[in-house]
Chain A
Amino acid sequence: MTTTTIAGHELEVNEEGFLTHPEQWTEDLAPELARLIGLELTDAHWTLIRFLRQDYATEGETATLRRVSTRTDTPIKSLFALFPGKPAKKMAYVSGLPKPKGCV
């Protein structure tokens, strides 16, 4: 656990850089977190980020890739285009949420 400053906010992050306190996330953090992984946010990104935040608030867990795809009506292919390589991880990272648990 380390403390870092992103967009003027002092935040606690884990060894992979994920926020350890999702409640510390604010919308102005997202573009900066995105920049750190080489992404520039578009409206399409924001739709997904807002869904992830709202879903986490009600479910207490980060949505899986399939859940994001089904609930926001976004093909998985598009999720890979928006968040290349590791969309589930990257969406969670930008949204200030824990890495989704691959169920055991």
Chain B
Amino acid sequence: MNTTKHLVVLGAGTAGTMVVNKLRRRLPADQWTITVVNKDEVHDYQPGYLFIPFGLNTPEQVRKQTRPFIHDGIELLIGDVERVDTAANEVRLTDGRVLPYDQLVIATGTTPRPDQTEGTLGIQWHREVGEFYTYEGAVALRDRLDTFEGGRLVVHITELPIKCPVAPLEFAFLADDWLRRRGLREKTELVFVTPLDGAFTKPVASRTLGGLLAEKGIIVEPDFMVERIDQERQVLVSYDEREVAYDQLVTVPLNMGADFVAASGLGDELNYVPVDKHTFLATGHDNVFALGDANNIPTSKAGSVAHFSVEVFVDNFLEHIAGRPMPHSFDGHANCFVESGHGKALLLDFNYDTEPLTGSFPIPKVGPMTLLGESRANHLGKLAFRHIYWNALLPGRPLGLPAEMSMSGKNPA
């Protein structure tokens, strides 16, 4: 009798790669097969996109092949998912392949969808209408900025949630620094357009980051919900008919989960999988989980969350398949370095219940990082993280960072 069980993981990004590598060490090979499906052969270090337009990372530094990051004993399939049939416990790929599963993990992330805002994909796309949330977009924007001679540089968020919600702010800060160094700052109006009523969603951080925007002379256009981009007139038009003119637009398109999630009846209105926010088990299912950006947990869509989530998930999963209750509860822990320009960065650390606070954050071997304040060490920490990502995080090596948030060293609000 063949009793081998099948774990299928959809997506080999940050969460998917970590999960398969960690679980392969924990699941006996004669009892469980592990298959991971990815849409292509490349793995990008997505936080690096932000730096490409300013020449602070080269494209080669952020892109590697997927396969070497998937450990032995794990099957990697390249293909597109058509849909998940949860009644039959099967995944169907668009090329006709069918993958039966006993346990399924959806880790297909979130994707910028410029097609969702009228007028985005016109002739100015990746030119006057730029973006830095894809490899191609970041490279195209680098070339645009190279020829920029001043005017209105508009950084724009379409709608939340977005992947790495602080990245647009960081872009504005880095642009300010970059323009000053090129002697173009006087000739440029730098504008930050957001659907939020301030710089950020969390009040304490919003005050600090809003203060930085003001200090750098960046104009904020709040409560702006874009309806369409009029490329002929070079303006963003909002639903309440306000207009923001641009010479160079840097937009963050609407972010959505994968289309197969909707086709499988597993998604909310943005194709995110509703899950229990402490265990990632998909609502209404006992053998479907969603990790990383693909789920709807109320915290940042960010690599740090994917990382902390996976730590909690792996131990829980082993109990779950043994028929026992899941012992660990994810607290929503996120931390983000925020580049503020001039070789400095801030660090935010928060969870479901606690706002980003001031104070310091201990990082093993590197030392304390300043929370919610600018420092050179934070900037260096952010740059160093690329190496940690490729060499320790994806292979599933312990980083010594606790998944659960700690209040040690922090100043309560």
Give the complex CA separation of A49 and B274 in angstroms: 23
Q: Are A77 and B270 in contact (CB under 8 A)?
A: no
Q: A101 contacts the other chain (Cβ, under 8 Å)? A: yes
When the two chains form their complex, are residues B197 and A77 in contact, meaning their CB atoms are under 8 A apart?
Answer: no
Give the chain A neighbours of B197 by CB distance below 8 A.
86, 89
Contacts of A101 in B (CB 8 A): 201, 298
Contact status A103-B270, CB under 8 Å: no
Interface residues on A, range: 10 to 19
CB pair B161–A103 under 8 Å, yes or no, is yes
Majority secondary structure, A binding face = helix
Chain B, interface SS category: loop
- The answer, yes or no, to whether B300 is at the interface (CB within 8 Å) is yes
In the complex, A61 has a CB within 8 A of chain B: yes
Which of A66, A80, A84, A85 is in CB contact (< 8 Å) with B159?
Answer: A66
Q: How large is the interface on B (under 10, 10 to 19, 20 to 34, 35 or more residues)?
A: 20 to 34
Q: Is the CB of B196 within 8 A of A102?
A: yes
A21: Cβ under 8 A from any B Cβ: no
> Would you call A65 an interface residue if the criterion is a C-beta within 8 Å of the partner chain's C-beta atoms?
yes
Chain B residues with Cβ under 8 A from A102's Cβ? Answer: 160-161, 195-196, 201
| Cα distance A101–B301 in the bound complex, in angstroms | 14
Chain B residue with the shortest CB-CB distance to A68: B269
CA distance A89 to B337 in the complex (A): 29
Would A71 and B269 count as touching, CB distance under 8 A?
A: yes
Q: Is the CB of A104 within 8 A of B201?
A: yes
B286 within 8 A of A: no
Contact A104/B227 with A84-B240, A86-B197 known, Cβ cut-off 8 Å = no
Q: A67-B268, A102-B161 are in contact. List 4 more A-B contacts (CB 8 A).
A: A61-B298, A66-B269, A80-B240, A104-B201
Q: What 9 pairs between A and B have smallest CB-CB spacing?
A: A103-B161, A70-B269, A102-B201, A80-B239, A102-B160, A104-B300, A80-B240, A104-B201, A102-B196
